Amino acid sequence: MAGYDPRTFPAVAVTVDLVVLTVRDGGLCVLVVRRGEEPYAGREALPGGFVRPDEDLLAAAQRELAEETGLTPGAAHLEQLASYGAPDRDPRMRVVTVAHLALVADPPDPRAGSDAAAARWAPVAEVSPGLAFDHDRVLGDGVARARAKLEYTALAASFCRSSFTVAELRRVYEAVWGRPLDPRNFHRKVTSAAGFLEPTGETTTRDGGRPAQLYRRGPAAALHPPLLRAEN
C-alpha cells in the first residue's frame, strides 16, 4: 500500500447529523434548526455538528441530541443511520457525516445550539425539500428507516410515554406510515404479537369514552408476527 501523502489525501472532517423524529398533533415531526452561520445562513437543516477529537461517533451524537433537546442518553432511542460523503456536500471543506436516527416520545421544546439561530419541531412534509446541505436525502432515509422498523420491531413504543393505550400506539403507526389503520384489526395484531405489549393493570379515559386499558412496552425487540404495511 502506498504511503500517505497529504497532497493527494487532504484532511477530511467528520460530523454527525441527527434525524430526530417524534409524533405531535397526529403527525410525524422532525427537529430542525435555522442556521445562524454560513454556509446556508438562515436555512433550516437537521441538527448536528463536528465530532470532537476526544469523541467517538455515538458520544458526539448523544452530545448533539442533548444540546438541542436536553435529552440525556437513554431518554430516546438512538441508532446509526448511514454515512454521507459526497465531495461537494459541504462548501467549506471535505466533510463526511455519519447520520443518526433518534425516536423521541413527548419531547420538550427544542433549544437552538451554539451555531443555530432557532430550533423547532416541524411536520416532515413541510420542511422537505428545502433543507440545507444534503439533509433532504438524510431525512428521507431516516423516515424510510423508521417506517420499515415499525413493521418488524417494537420501536413504535419509543414514540409513546411509559404507559399508553392501543389507540395511542395506533396513532403512532398512522403518523409514521402516513395512512389510517383499522382500529379493531390493529388492536388484534399488536396484542397478539408475542412480548410487544404488557398490560399495566390500569385504565385511562384520556382518549375519551369508556376507560381504555394501559400497556407498557414488553421485552420483545422483534415482532412475531410482523405488522406489515401492506396488510394493514
Please enumerate in sequence order all residues whose Cβ is within 8 A of that of 205, keeping only pairs 6 or more positions apart, or say none: 211, 212
Residues 20, 120, single domain; the answer is yes
pLDDT in tens, 74-92: 888 999 999 999 999 999 9
How many structural domains are present in the chain? 2
Cell of 180: 389510517
The domain that holds 174 is classified in CATH as 1.10.10.10
Q: Using one digit for the tens of pLDDT, what is the confidence trace for 18-39?
A: 999 999 999 999 999 999 889 9
pTM for the model stands at 0.92
Using the predicted structure, report yes or no on whether residue 55 has a pLDDT greater than 90. yes
113-124 tens-digit pLDDT: 666 678 899 999
Assess whether pLDDT exceeds 70 at residue 6.
no
Reading phi first (left if > 0) and then psi (alpha if -120 to 50, else beta), residue 174 is in alpha
**Does the residue 218 lie in any domain?**
yes
Dist. CA 228–CA 64, nearest whole Å = 33
29 and 104 together in one domain: yes
Contact yes or no for 100/80 (Cβ under 8 A): yes
Looking at the fold, whether 122 and 193 belong to one and the same domain comes out as no
Residues 23 and 118 placed together within one structural domain of the fold: yes
On whether both 159 and 67 belong to a single domain, the answer is no
Query: Are residues 40 and 116 located together in one domain of the fold?
Result: yes
Same domain, 184 and 102: no
Contact between 146 and 217 (Cβ < 8 Å): no
Q: Are residues 19 and 123 in the same domain?
A: yes
C-alpha cell at 159: 414514540
Q: Among 57, 98, 77, which residue's Cα sits nearest to residue 221?
A: 77
Tell me the residue range of the domain where 185 lies. Answer: 151-231
Instruction: Tell me the pairing of strands 212-217 and 13-24.
Output: unpaired
pLDDT tens readout for residues 154-185: 999 999 999 999 999 999 999 999 999 999 99
Do 120 and 160 lie in a common domain? Answer: no
CA distance 222 to 195: 9
Q: Is residue 121 domain-shared with residue 80, that is, in the same domain?
A: yes
Please, are residues 153 and 223 in contact by the beta-carbon 8 Å criterion?
Answer: yes
Q: Tell me, yes or no, whether 102 and 206 share the same domain.
A: no
End-to-end CA distance of the chain: 53
Domain boundary residue, one of 129, 161, 181: 129
181 lies in a domain? Answer: yes
CATH number at residue 43: 3.90.79.10
Which amino acid is present at 102? A
